[in-house]
Chain A
Amino acid sequence: MSVILRTRITLVWALLVGATLFSFETQTLGGAAVARTVILVIAFAKVLMVGREFMELRHAPPLLLWLFQGWAALTCLALLILFNL
């Protein structure tokens, strides 16, 4: 099973790299507001992936997992509002 775990975290890393490269080029997409939203959403999607997969919070007690996910969601929401309104 550890082989599957190893494969999974390698896949997660590949997704994180892909998302990083995509957001790096996002400034060429649509208008400025669209680009800002996409960059922030991708950044916090990556945060969730690192927390859930690398930090293994998906196996953690639900309270710890949801505190982390709540932090990410609220921080992302606050930044989306501050950058776009």
Chain B
Amino acid sequence: MATRVSDMTSQSTGIPGRTSRGHIPGEEGIWVFIGGDLLAFAVFFITYAVARRQELAVFETSQRLLDRDLGLLNTLILLTSSLCVAQAVAAVRRSDPRARLFLFGGIALGASFVVVKAFEYSAKIAHGFTLNTNSFSIYYYMFTGIHLVHVLIGLGVLCFTASRFDRAGRMPGGVALIEGSGAFWHLIDLLWIVLFALLYLL
């Protein structure tokens, strides 16, 4: 029976299929998508910075209306969710049934990010800070909205991955699947780190 290269575990690192040329986590196609997303968001970040220079007073005043504490909370939620998913990947590699628990923890935290964001949106809208308020609000809702769509897709991917566990809580042959879905989830975390800095802190 043929064995997937990515399902072979290096004794020295715990990283499956690691060779001297390196190991690509998950399927290669996911990295094409991740690369495209990184380029798109780089354009978003730079576009925002240029717009901020042009309307500095409007942006600075509007940024003070954002709830920095909720931004911080969501950052800590996503970081911890990423930790859970990374633990789940490591657990699947060693056939540890706790992998399922870690993955469900990551999913629950991801869902709580959505709840906090929904609360934040509703509070802002209730105070009259809507998409049409000014230039900053357009960027705020557009970028955080696109990111939120990523979160929802990521949650769907993680739920699909969680459905692949067997009754014993193991995922035979599923290392590439959880690596790929984990990489996408970490991308979401990574993009939020920059959005949090640009929108809430700077």
Contacts and interface: CB of A to CB of B under 8 A. Distances in A.
B31 interface: yes
Interface string A3-30: 0111001100100110011011011000
Interface stretch (B14-22, B112-120, B143-151, B157-165): B14-22
A12 to B, nearest CB: 8
The B interface is mostly helix, strand or loop, or mixed, namely: helix
A24 B18 CA distance: 37
Interface of A: 1-2, 4-6, 9-10, 13, 16-17, 20-21, 23-24, 26-27, 36, 39-40, 42-44, 46-47, 50-51, 53-57, 59-62, 64-65, 67-68, 71, 74-75, 78-79, 82-83
Contacts, number: 126
Interface stretch (B82-90, B122-130, B131-139, B166-174): B82-90
A60 B190 contact: no
A55 B49 contact: no
Interface residues of B, number: 50
Nearest to A57: B25
Interface of B: 11-15, 18, 21-25, 31, 35, 38-39, 42, 45-46, 49-50, 52-53, 68, 72, 75-76, 79-80, 82-83, 85-87, 90, 93-94, 179, 182-183, 186-187, 189-190, 193-194, 196-198, 201-202
B188 to A, nearest CB: 10
A49 to B, nearest CB: 9
A82 B50 contact: yes
A59 B189 contact: no
